[in-house]
Amino acid sequence: MLWLLRAMFKEEFRLQSSYSNRWSTLMFPFMLCTMSLVVAVSLPQLSSEISVPQMITGAHLSALLYGLAVGAFAFLGREMLERRWGQATFLLSSAQTLPITFRRTFLVFFLKDTLYYVFVTLLPVTVGLLLSIPVTHFHVLSVLRLFATLALTFLYGISFSFFMSAIYTRSRRVFTALSVGVIVLVLASAALHLFGVGLIAPSIAYEFSGDPWALLASMALSFSWAAWAVMLIEERFEIPSVVVKGQYDEAAGRFAAFGRLGPYLGKEWIDLVRSRTLSKVTLAFVLPLAVLSAFDWFLERTLSTSIEFTSIFYGGMVGFFGVLIYSWLNNIDYVEYYSTFPVVVPDIVKAKLVMFMLLTSGISTGFVVMMSAVNHDWARLPVALLVMFSTSVYMVVVTAYLTGLRTNVYLFDTRILTKFAILSIVPLMAVTFLSMAEERLGWLMLLAIAIVCLVLATATRILLGRIDVRWRGETFTVSG
């Protein structure tokens, strides 16, 4: 099995490199290491706002979510990649052509994912913390212990995600029932305080108590999830072919007002509906917002601390999470067939931008209005909506300008990612800071926010105009 593991490591690295280039892929862990070093050095300033145990809990929750996401992407992403690159291209599909069972390749795939992502993300973060020791005076053993416990939490998350994915391939009903069960458990811990979060993820309990039983439980549960996943996974899970009624003309007719983009918008809409991406997109958008709201709620209930999230803050967040939607829109299907059409890449980018606005405007407005209602924050709603529209249009145009039709590909490129980080983090920080500084700044805050929105609108206008220049020479073909 070691030969397959080695081959899968190479495949993963080359896949990541194909998104950008070898150099950028190698730079990614280095960038994480630098970020971790910077955060560690800034800890004295941060710890006046958030305590160290809170930070460690946050790090564990992040590792848990990261593990869950990597596991989920292994399946969701595979479906997309196969659609984009063709069937039986990846080593995971070896069972179709080689004398090896799918269960075995699945197990190796799990091991590869676990080791690869610990190696390229958690390890560089740890190295960054170790490098900060001359300034922070952390104990080496404490840092290594944190790495070990975070790796355990990540393992717990990824194992559970693989387990749930295996369940999903067997029965959607059982999957839904188990998901509801997990949500109930989380709520019982966070809202009702029936038990601590350490009981849901024992590695967190071990982090704070040092109880060896918690360590043992975490390891045993992780291995159990993984073992069950391997046992339950179906040898094959082909998607049955379906027959549908022609809907294209009707869909294209609905977008006739958009002129030349109408036919493309009609096709985009059908893609969204038939690939069931509409629900995934909505979930991908709403989930981070729900997590954000839940996080605040969780801090307030469990740690008796709260961050003052106003409607203006949520308005900004909604805008920034919109990037996820644009990314999803670019991942539904390959676009090579457009190379036979009388269009250029900027035309399709614009069609995606229009679809983005149509898709998100309603959800975003609804969310901000809802948060205003929940927090009895109606007074700030108009400003919150202004912030929401400015940031969401700005963020999606920045993303489209930097990544064109290959958002997931280019966001793995260190140079693009750096530009993206600068262009997004600066306004995000500005909006977040201003939304939280109302008590201190008063009406000046409103003025400052208006200026930020104006700057964002100007930047949006400039970048929108430059999309044509930047992407006109780009091909629709992957190898082009």
Partner 1 sequence: MLAGTHAPVIEAHGLGKVYGSVVALRDVELRVERGEFFGLFGPNGAGKTTMLRILTGQIAPSAGTAAVLGLPLPLGGVEVRAKVGVVPEFESPPSFLTGEEYLRFVCRARGIEGSKERAARWLEFFALTDRKGLLCKDMSKGMRQKVMLAAAFIHEPELLFLDEPFINLDPLYQKRVQEYLREYLEGGGTVFMCSHLLEIAERLCTRITVLKRGAVVATGTLAELKRPGEQGLADVFMRLVGGELDEGQGAETTAGAAGTV
Residues near partner 1 (CB under 8 A)? 83, 241-249, 252, 262-264, 266-267, 270-271, 274-275, 332-334, 336-337, 339-344, 473, 475-477, 480
**Angle at the Cα of 61 from the Cα atoms of 59 and 66, rounded to 5 degrees:** 90
Which lies closer to partner 1 via its Cβ, residue 296 or residue 468? 468
Shortest Cβ 78–partner 1 spacing (Å): 15
For partner 1, the closer of residues 256 and 374 by Cβ is 256
Residue 103 or 267 with smaller CB distance to partner 1: 267
Q: How far apart are CA 266 and CA 22, in angstroms?
A: 37
Question: Taking the complex as a whole, how short is the minimal distance between the CB of residue 17 and partner 1, in angstroms?
Answer: 14
Minimum distance from CB of 233 to partner 1 (Å)?
Answer: 23
Which one, 24 or 149, has the nearer CB to partner 1?
A: 24
DSSP 278-311: HHHHHHHHHHHHHHHHHHHHHHHHHSS------H
User: Smallest gap, in angstroms, from Cβ of residue 77 to partner 1?
Assistant: 16
How many whole angstroms separate alpha carbon 321 and alpha carbon 317? Answer: 6
Which residue shows structure tokens 């929940």?
Answer: 374
Angle (CA) 257 263 266, round 5°: 85
* Cβ closest to partner 1, residue 270 vs residue 450: 270
| Residue with smaller CB distance to partner 1, 193 or 472 | 472
Nearer to partner 1 by Cβ, of 99 and 480: the residue is 480
- Select 343 or 457, whichever has its Cβ closest to partner 1: 343
Q: How far apart are CA 148 and CA 156, in angstroms?
A: 12
Of 461 and 472, CB closest to partner 1: 472
Residue 36: C-alpha distances to residues 70, 123, 147, 218 (Å): 20, 11, 13, 26
Q: What span, in angstroms and rounded, lies between the C-alpha atoms of 395 and 445?
A: 22
Please report how close the Cβ of residue 341 comes to partner 1 at its closest, in angstroms.
Answer: 6
| Rounded Cα distance, 91 and 299, in Å | 43
Phi-psi region of 343 (alpha: psi -120 to 50; beta: other; left: phi over 0): beta
CB of 351 to partner 1, least distance (A): 11
Contact 259, 351 (CB under 8 A): no
- Identity of the residue numbered 48: S
Amino acid 340 reads T
Token representation of residue 289: 């917002």
Please report how close the Cβ of residue 265 comes to partner 1 at its closest, in angstroms. Answer: 11
| Cβ-based nearer residue to partner 1, 200 or 270 | 270
23 vs 223, beta carbon nearer partner 1: 23
Cα separation, 382 vs 376, in Å, equals 14
Q: 439, exposed or middle or buried, with CB in 10 Å at 0-12, 13-18, 19+? A: exposed
Least distance (Å) between residue 65 CB and partner 1: 30
Q: What is the DSSP letter of 244?
A: -
Q: What is the DSSP string of 327-396?
A: HHHTTSS--GGGGGSS--HHHHHHHHHHHHHHHHHHHHHHHHHHHHHHTT-GGGHHHHHHHHHHHHHHHH
At closest approach, how far in Å is the CB of 473 from partner 1?
Answer: 6
Using DSSP's 3-state secondary structure scheme, residue 164 falls into helix
- CA–CA dist 141, 131 (Å, integer): 13
| Smallest separation (angstroms) from partner 1 to the CB of 353 | 18
How far apart (Å, rounded) are the C-alpha atoms in residues 140 and 129?
Answer: 9
Question: How many other C-beta atoms lie within 10 A of the C-beta of residue 87?
Answer: 10
In this complex, which beta carbon is closest to partner 1, that of residue 192 or of residue 239?
Answer: 239
What is the closest distance, in whole angstroms, from the C-beta atom of residue 109 to partner 1 in the complex?
23
Amino acid residing at 210: G
